[in-house]
Structures are given as structure tokens and as C-alpha cells.
Amino acid sequence: MVGEFVPSPVDPVDAGGEFWRRYHEFRRVRQKETRPDEPVRDDADEEARMKRISPFQGDDRYEVSRDGEMLGLLHAYYTKPESPEYESNKHLYDADLFVRGANRRRGIGSSFLPVLIDLMERRNSTTVSFWVEEDAGHGFLKWVGAEVKLNEIESRLIFSEIDWPELERWVEQGARRSPQTRLEIIDGPVPEEEREAFSAQMSVMLNTVPMEALDHGDIVVTPDTMRDHYERFDLSHEVPHTVLTREADGTISGITEVNWAPYRPAFIEQQFTGVRPDARGRGLGKWIKAAMLLHIRDLYPATEWIGTGNAGSNAPMLKINRALGFKQHRTGTAYQITRARSSRGR
Ligand SMILES: CC(C)(COP(=O)(O)OP(=O)(O)OC[C@H]1O[C@@H](n2cnc3c(N)ncnc32)[C@H](O)[C@@H]1OP(=O)(O)O)[C@@H](O)C(=O)NCCC(=O)NCCS
């Protein structure tokens, strides 16, 4: 029934105990439905993350709740003017929407659309992106009229299946093919004095990641955005690890990052991997990935698997990952729709 559900704004900073109770119950329901083999973050850490106001990303949240039970939640986010990415990203909005399984097809999902359009109008954003992994999400986004813009493959590598001697060979070959290049391992945040050079190379590499048809802005990493990123990790005690290659002139030519967290000790999240375009074709990608996995095995013997996501069109990264033994676990799709084209939210 149109108009039956009216979303209300959520302000994590001022939210009371009753909100947190229904929110934590809701996110557990979601996790059980969508990622049942992954543990949820601790309640206190989750609250700290949601209460933290990011200097670079703005967050809006709205809920539909009945009788003390959260039925649906919208999290919409955008790039703040303070962000170095603002100029090329200010037209974009991101939305994450979830309605619990038992309450779907009652108009709760669509009740968030006028709110979303209103938020976008207020910030002059023209395009919103949605990330979809489940059939219901695909059905909903098609109804919304959004278009598929990027397909991603999420893969997992099971540690007990890794061919470790092969990885050791990759490390030896990498060093042999590039005798002037040094491999460095950083446990924890990249040291502050390194961040200027590191973030400059990260920005170059990140902007070479295939984005398929996605309308996207530039990715700009700076020492300030790195600090923000690490502060966010700290709130749930996540530990970053970085392996990089450095050329004879000091230039960082390859980077791979993962993170570990105490609430999910059985698995590692792969973050970014990149090799500078002018250093490709020398086996640096295989070298850094193999060196990272060998390092993780020694550091965290309880690791069972590592997960990663790559655009379906990212042939070089997928090839390395498949050679390591990564297998497709699920797929995800980014949809986008412009405010001008959306008729469902009005
Ligand atoms: C996507 C989601 C939020 C939709 O919530 P919802 O409350 O069921 O949505 P609505 O009832 O407002 O659906 C509106 C219309 O979308 C379409 N739709 C919704 N779910 C659908 C499905 N499973 N299959 C096909 N069409 C669907 C229908 O046309 C529906 O209208 P109708 O029921 O009158 O036919 C919900 O399914 C969900 O939480 N999915 C998992 C998370 C997700 O994928 N989120 C979206 C991306 S961020």
C-alpha cells in the first residue's frame, strides 16, 4: 500500500539504547541471510564506527521500524567538499538498502526512494549507485529502472589448498627478474614519513583499475585520507599489512594490502593490489601477492581463507588470482540511475 511506510532518520551520534538494540538485531539477520559464514563485528566496535564522523564522507541513514523491530534500513553516502575527491565525485551518491526477508514485497524498499531523491536534490547529486549481490536486489533495481554498470567477481582462496612451494618459486622468480627491485613488508599502518610518496603511487595505480561502464570520479589518496582510513580500521582493531616493491631510484612500483581483524580471525580481507603501468610485465604482481600470502601464513596461522573482489573485466588480476588458486565465491553488480531518469521516487 503506497504511503504505508514512512522512513525516519537515524542519528547514530544521539541514538539511544533502544535504537542500538534493534539495529544490532537487524544487522545479524542481514548477515545470516547474506554472509552466514562471516562473523559480525562486535557491537561496541560497530557503534564506534557509526558514531565517528568522517572528515571526507557524509552519511545519511533512515529506518523503517515497527513495534521495536527494524524492518528496513537505508544508508546513503556521498563525498564531502573537504575530500580531495570532491570535484570529480560530487555528482555521485551511493545507497545501500536492506529489507529483512520476511518483510519484502510490501513496499518498504520503495518507501526509501523519495527520501533518497530528496537527499540527492539537497546535495545537487545527479547519479546514485547501488551494490547488489542477491536476486531480490536485482529484481528491485530493474524495477527502479537502474542500469548495470559494473560486474564484480568475489573470490576466495582456501589456505589449506595453497601450493606453498609454488608461491616460494614466484617470490624467487620475481626477485631474479628484477634484481634492482627491493621487496618491503609493513605490518600496521604505513609510517607517516612514507605516506606522501606512498599515497601518490597508490593514486596512480588505483585510477588504472577497470571500472567498466560505471560513472565514477577520480580516486585521490593523500596522507590525510590515509590517516582517516587507518583511524577507521582502529575502531574495530583491524590491522593493515602492506607488501610493496621499490625500484633502485626509490619509486614504489607495486603495492598489495590486506587486513586482519580479531572479530574474524579465520579470514583475511584482500584490499588493493596494483603495479605501476610502467613496471608491468616483470612479474611484480605475482611476487607481491605470493610474498604477502607467505607472510600471512607465518603471522596468522589460524587463517582459513582470504577473500577478494575484482571487476569481471580485470583479466590480469583475475589471472594471477586464479593461478594462486582463488575460486569464484559469488558475484556482485553495481547499478546506477540518474535523478532525471528515476520516476519511482516521486
Ligand atoms: C532490494 C530490497 C531492498 C527491496 O525491498 P522490498 O521492500 O522488498 O521492495 P518493494 O516491496 O518496495 O518492491 C518494489 C518493487 O520492486 C520489484 N521487486 C522487489 N523485489 C523483487 C524480487 N525479488 N524480484 C522481482 N522484483 C522485485 C517489484 O516490482 C516490487 O513491486 P511489487 O512487489 O508491487 O511487484 C530487498 O529485496 C532487499 O533487502 N534485498 C537484499 C539487499 C539488496 O539487494 N539491496 C539492494 C541494493 S543496495
Distance (angstroms) between ligand 1 centre and the Cα of 133 equals 13
- Which of 63, 140, 147, 331 most suits a substitution to test ligand 1, by most atoms within 8 Å of the C-beta? 140
Nearest CA to ligand 1 atom 36: 99
> So what CATH class is 8-125?
alpha beta
In whole angstroms, give the CA distance from residue 33 to residue 31: 5
> So what CATH class is 154-331?
alpha beta
Does 305 sit in the ligand 1 pocket, CB within 6 Å? Answer: no
**Per-residue pLDDT, 1:** 46
Does 345 sit in the ligand 1 pocket, CB within 6 Å? Answer: no
Q: Which atom of ligand 1 is nearest to the CA of 106?
A: 11
Distance (angstroms) between ligand 1 centre and the Cα of 159 equals 37
Find the DSSP H helices in 94-222: 108-111, 113-122, 135-144, 164-177, 195-206
Domain borders along the chain are: 8-125, 154-331
* pLDDT of the chain, 346 residues: tens digit per residue: 456 899 999 999 999 999 999 999 999 999 999 999 999 999 999 999 999 999 999 999 999 999 999 999 999 999 999 999 999 999 999 999 999 999 999 999 999 999 999 999 999 999 999 999 999 999 999 999 999 999 999 999 999 999 999 999 999 999 999 999 999 999 999 999 999 999 999 999 999 999 999 999 999 999 999 999 999 999 989 999 999 999 999 999 999 999 999 999 999 999 999 999 999 999 999 999 999 999 999 999 999 999 999 999 999 999 999 999 999 999 999 999 999 887 776 6
Name the residue among 233, 297, 310, 308 with its Cα closest to residue 41.
Answer: 233
Specify the pTM: 0.94
Report which secondary-structure segment, H or E, holds 258: strand 252-260
In whole angstroms, give the CA distance from residue 185 to residue 241: 8
In whole angstroms, give the CA distance from residue 191 to residue 168: 27
Say how many CA atoms lie within 13 Å of 7 toward its Cβ: 26
In whole angstroms, give the CA distance from residue 108 to residue 98: 9
Which CA distances in Å does 237 have to 20, 80, 256, 341?
A: 20, 26, 20, 42
Same fold, 8-125 and 154-331: yes
In whole angstroms, give the CA distance from residue 320 to residue 273: 11
